[in-house]
Amino acid sequence: MESGNSTRIISSFFLLGFSENPHLQFLIFSLFLSMYLVTVLGNLLIIMVIISQSHLHTPMYFFLANLSLVDIYFTSTTVPKMLVNIQTQSKAITYADCISQMFFFLIFAELDNFLLAVMAYDRYVAICHPLYYTVIVNQQLCILMVLLSWVVSILHAFLQTSIVLQLTFCGDVKIPHFFCELNQLSQLTCSDNFSSHLIMNLVPVLLAVISFSSILYSYFKIVSSIRSISSVQGKYKAFSTCVSHLSIVSLFYSTGLGVYVSSAVVQSSHSAARASVMYTVVTPMLNPFIYSLRNKDVKKALERLLEGKL
């Protein structure tokens, strides 16, 4: 392919995955198929528990059900295509499929960001303003916050996709990743457009900073409120309602940060792909376990569901 060819001429990209060693392909396929099945089944189970148990029809579990649904979509945008490529011994992904995969990945990645921030706000109101909790975090506000998260995430995905569609790719179209990731695509372009590259890199960081800052503020107020509680038992009870969410936030953002750190430090064509596994596959897989093991209400409801005592 000659340098300067436009994106209209490109018919496909090539996803190099984690390793080009043919002896490791079966192991990678088995590992990711297992993790994907656990992720889908685990999150579906959480959703079923929340829907079936009337006492879990509260804002906190409404947001958790949405997070579980988003995590299923999040993982499904990347892993199935990788499994198909390994099974068919093909690394190719069509241009249209690559752009579509990037588009939906951006939506669900940002949704994870926003839902974690919304859940932090929910815990803030529940602990800092318990008497007004049902008034402030009502059904209309819950739906509005989730809907707003969807709208902003979709608009961001449209913005980034429209920029990528205008880029010119030339030379090598091999992506050292297991899915079409925005940063990887931007590195393949020969378009010298500073404003486009600035938007592609700055907007995701800005959205992540806004979400994370709101989470930090919520927990700053929560900690301040818990410190004012006189009894140790009261402090423990208040903090215990945040443990599961705080664990997921720590896992999601620490692994997301690890992607950029490892990509910058480790000079390996597959380093970004390996680091991305943590927040794209492992974190969505662990979320149901974190909430079911650390949350007594979910654990009891899960036991009742599995025993058929609904």
| pLDDT tens by residue, 90-129 | 888 988 999 999 999 999 999 999 999 999 999 999 999 9
Which residue, 126, 144, 95, 294, is CA-closest to 226?
Answer: 126
List, for residues 47-106, the tens digit of each pLDDT value.
Answer: 988 898 888 889 999 999 999 999 999 999 999 999 998 888 888 898 899 999 999 999
Hey, how many other C-beta atoms are within 10 angstroms of the C-beta on 310? Answer: 10
Q: Give the model's pLDDT for residue 259.
A: 66
Distance CA 198, CA 193 (A): 9
Q: Give the model's pLDDT for residue 227.
A: 87
Q: Where are the domains of the chain?
A: 12-307
Hey, how many other C-beta atoms are within 10 angstroms of the C-beta on 90? Answer: 12
pLDDT band at 269 (very low <50, low <70, confident <90, very high): low
Mention every residue, 6+ apart, whose C-beta is less than 8 A from residue 115.
63, 66, 67, 70, 146, 149
Distance CA 32, CA 90 (A): 17
Distance CA 143, CA 123 (A): 16
Percent with pLDDT over 90 in the chain = 40
Hey, how many other C-beta atoms are within 10 angstroms of the C-beta on 22? Answer: 8
pLDDT band at 293 (very low <50, low <70, confident <90, very high): low
Q: Give the model's pLDDT for residue 268.
A: 52
> Tokens 């300067």 correspond to what residue?
4
| pLDDT score of 2 more than 50 | no
CA angle 272, 273, 274 (to 5 degrees): 95
Percent with pLDDT over 70 in the chain = 88
Q: Give the model's pLDDT for residue 126.
A: 92
Task: Classify domain 12-307 at the CATH topology level.
Answer: Rhopdopsin 7-helix transmembrane proteins (1.20.1070)
Q: Which residue has the higher pLDDT, 150 or 271?
A: 150
CA angle 38, 45, 50 (to 5 degrees): 150
